[in-house]
Chains A and B, each alone.
Chain A
Amino acid sequence: MKIEGEHLFNGSREEVWALVRDPEVLASLLPGTTDLKQLSESEYEGSITLRIGPVTGAFSGKIIVEDENPPESCSLVAEGEGKPGFFKGTGDVELLEQDGGTLMKYGGEIQIGGKLAGVGQRLIDMTSKSMIKQGMKSLDKVLAERTGKE
């Protein structure tokens, strides 16, 4: 499954960059994320409980940030597995200056397997879109708190 999209932040590239590289913030992004730990400069580990249609359960996994070029771009590798199956994703994030704010462009590909694929397939697309939307919203909120801009 391919994921692609963009989001305009009301803040500078440096502010947005600092935001997404903060594990505390990352953990708050997605509901159901627990125990997010930073293993190294670029590696995080944690678990997330997901509910996709009839499929629900916890995944444990990690996120690795690669090819960092602050505050412009990075690549992400995420993988997780749990009772509902597994997922493995790669993505690219780009931050561009636009209209006094920052435009985040993201794109990537996710492989899923097991029950998640067999039973949840139909709802994956919708669920992932709504999760991304929710995540961006949380980022906006934290960003606003930090910068004081509305």
Chain B
Amino acid sequence: MARLIGKPLKRNEDPRLLTGQALFVDDVELPGMLHAAFLRSDYAHARLKGIDVSAALEREGVVAVYTAEDMGDDWAPGPPLVIPPPTIEEVTFNTRTQVPLVKEKVRHAGEPLAVVIAESRYIAEDALDDIVVDLEPLPAVVDIERALDADAALVHDDLESNLAAHLVQTKGGYQSAREQADLIIKRRIVMDRGIAGAMENRGIVAYWDNKQQYLTVWDTTQSPIPIRNGLAGMFGLSEHQVRVIAPFVGGGFGPKIMMFYPEEVVLTWATLKLALPIKWIEDRRENFYATTQERGQVHEVEMALTEDGRILGLKDDFIHDSGAYDPYGLTIPLNTQCHVLGPYDIPNFSSELHVVFTNKTLTTPVRGAGRPHGVFVVERLLDIAARELGIDPSEIRRRNYLPNDVFPYDNVIIDQAFANFIIDSGDYLPAMEKALDMIGYKDFIENEQPRLRAEGRRVGIGVVSFIETTGVGPYEGARVTIESSGDVSVATGVGTQGQGHFTSFAQVVAEHLGVKVSDVHMVTGDTAQFHWGTGTFASRGAVVAANAMNAASSIVRKKILELASELLDAPEDELEIEDGEVRVADVPRMSISLGELAQKANPLRGAVEPGTEPGLEATAYFGPNYGATAFGTHAMIVEVDPETMNVEIRRYVVVEDCGTVLNPLILDGQVHGGVAHGIGNAFYEQLFFDDNGQLLNASFADYLIPTSAEVPTIEVGHTVTPSPLNPLGSKGAGEAGAIPVPALMAQAIENAIGEAGFEILESPMSPLKLFNLYYGDKEQ
């Protein structure tokens, strides 16, 4: 078999993308298509006293204006996307899900109050001005540490407090570990994140064809099949009457897996009423309010260690901001809890979690999904411990890594899939050593840093480790078909948002079927092409979907060999599949092309034998028992300008272990993107709200996304520890780049400042925050 898996092939999809030939939702144009605009609340918390749309309806070109009242019995809060965990005792979870249009109370700024459907978006936007809304402002819940105060306003009036969830997870006994400790590190750590900032905002085109009784929805979702199933259920349609297409999507990063967004429900409801296609494309400002975010956590943490720097235990009590609703359950904070344990041997652990409702946009996973928070906590504590104990930061990590012989390692606590958090495999030391070697750690510490310090320059180095749980179930599927042309067509349920699925999946298929990667035609994210699946999330495409491809193409290969053996009159083990044909090894003239075989497998006359299937096609599924855990080490060298506290990243090294690599070129691209995202999370991107829940930086002029000037050249190395959980041995990598960056940057900046007592316990940082932190207590 030609080895295609692992080759750095250029992407099949790029010519279409780069020449503007790829279909995005906004490219969809249908005859008679109408356009929707949403009226959104300026207030974060307010009672809706009345809404008058009569003037808007009179505007020329307006077709309809709808409010919650118009939806009648079809108005209902969305179903929870993730059911809260049933597996731990005494968990409190108050499910409160988002609504299609506000009926009684606004719970975050930007929540939709009404929709205008008009002949053009211009008319629809103008008509929003004609709507008169009577909102009675209420005090807003903003500060997560005060959300549970007795006098706090209630986001949900029917609850006694703003508590969304409460649970405690333990492993071993922290208290006794604490009593044996030589050193206790106790800190308060604050983590915030921001928007995903995908290049393409959300968009939907929904069309109910009344004559065909068929609903088609183009949607920028990461999860087309569950959207299809959900819409069918909501509106009493058969799943076969609904087609959801997630075409090319310009970046997902998590928020596009959220369902159901109000706009998805409202546009579908409206097209069912009007029987005309309706388009809505989110604008950038709407995206800051209406697309889910990931935000604040406040941790009170304690780490108990021996004098030689071994962790005896860790206690992490934290509050997590859920925003106005909690359809995504506990995914983010459970990820945080698991990743606080990191790649380390932490025998005793205790973590109490409070999730609170606030009058802010809801939070759902954004690339990393709570993992950066957990990594930040444990890595910061290790750095502080290392300093107190006089141990090198790389050495303290080395002393605490889980050894190689413990895998699969059961961490006892439950993970986001509500199963025990088991690490399938790992080999942490080689990844760190490789990173130290690539960045020249020893030489920097011993020679370069002292030399530059002597010149008065503040240069520093950082090295942190991380794990990333990836590739969770339940399952994905793939259908692989040899067409009569000899080309291969493949369909899967996952959607694609730039991950290179059309290439890395094709490599897996082509490897089995002896065809060119460019002859494998991939369809992703179209429910008319593949009926089953969940979606693209949790760094799972290369694990779950790729292994389904692997399984389906193995079956097709078997079918090819069986039929060819019969036709060529040669035993199967003497056959080879190369260059799109089956040959008898050593007898090149005895061959048959895959196209011819496909035709013979699907004859027009004659009889297909009982028990056989026509065609060279197979559908297969893959579902892992639990997720595969990737890991790695990042290292960076920074220089801090002591006058401005601006930080320049001089070197950035990533050593990533995601098991078997399907396409190293694509992998490196994903790592680069992740690191860029992580640099934003660590130093630039933060949402600021005032006391009334008003977002104060809802544009790219004020919300900073790192540009090419802030993102350095990223040097990527690999170690390969295949996962035993799937035949390909793959693990996910889509989020890994972003996860350790805040922790790394904090360590490197501290090292550059190099002064006792200077500690970064907050992320994201910024030049201003760093300036205040450093100069706050000093005479200027």
Binding site for B on A (CB under 8 A): 54, 81, 83, 85-86, 111-115, 117-119, 121-122
Contacts and interface: CB of A to CB of B under 8 A. Distances in A.
Contact of B109 (A83, A114, A119): A114
B695 interface: yes
Contacts of B129: 83
B699 A119 contact: yes
Nearest to B698: A118
A111, A117, A122 interface centre (most CB from chain B within 10 Å): A117
Contact of B42 (A54, A86, A119, A121): A86
Nearest first, the 8 closest Cβ-Cβ pairs linking A and B are: A118-B698, A114-B42, A117-B694, A121-B696, A113-B42, A119-B699, A113-B694, A85-B42
Contacts of B285: 115, 118-119
B690 interface: yes
B43 A119 contact: no
A122 B694 contact: no
Contacts of B44: 113
A121 B42 CA distance: 14
Contacts of A118: 109, 285, 288-289, 694-699
Interface string B693-725: 011111101100000000000000000000000
Given A111-B692, A114-B109, A81 B42 contact: yes
15 contacts: A54-B699, A83-B128, A85-B42, A86-B42, A111-B690, A114-B109, A114-B694, A117-B690, A117-B695, A117-B698, A118-B285, A118-B695, A118-B699, A119-B702, A122-B701
A68 to B, nearest CB: 26
Interface residues of B, number: 19
Nearest to B284: A119
Interface string B101-143: 0000000010000000000000000001100000000000000
B42, B109, B697, B699 interface centre (most CB from chain A within 10 Å): B42
Given A83-B129, A122-B701, A122-B702, A117 B43 contact: no
Nearest to A121: B696
A86 B702 CA distance: 20
Contacts of A83: 128-129
Interface string B665-697: 000000000000000000000000010101111
Given A83-B129, A113-B109, A121 B697 contact: yes
A125 to B, nearest CB: 12
Contacts of B690: 111, 117
Contacts of B702: 119, 121-122
Contacts of A122: 697, 701-702
A83, A112, A113 interface centre (most CB from chain B within 10 Å): A113
Nearest to B690: A117
B459 to A, nearest CB: 33
Nearest to A53: B701
Contacts of B128: 83
Given A85-B42, A119-B285, A113 B701 contact: no
A119 B692 contact: no
A83 B37 CA distance: 14
A140 to B, nearest CB: 33
Nearest to B126: A83
Given A81-B42, A85-B42, A119 B698 contact: yes
A109 to B, nearest CB: 11
A54 B284 CA distance: 14
Contacts of A54: 699, 701
Nearest to A119: B699
Interface string B138-167: 000000000000000000000000000000
A115 B41 CA distance: 10
A117 B42 CA distance: 9
B701 to A, nearest CB: 7
Nearest to A124: B696
A128 B694 CA distance: 18
A111, A117, A118 interface centre (most CB from chain B within 10 Å): A118
Given A111-B692, A113-B42, 17 more contacts: A54-B699, A86-B42, A111-B694, A113-B44, A113-B694, A114-B42, A114-B694, A115-B698, A117-B690, A118-B109, A118-B289, A118-B694, A118-B695, A118-B696, A118-B699, A119-B701, A121-B696
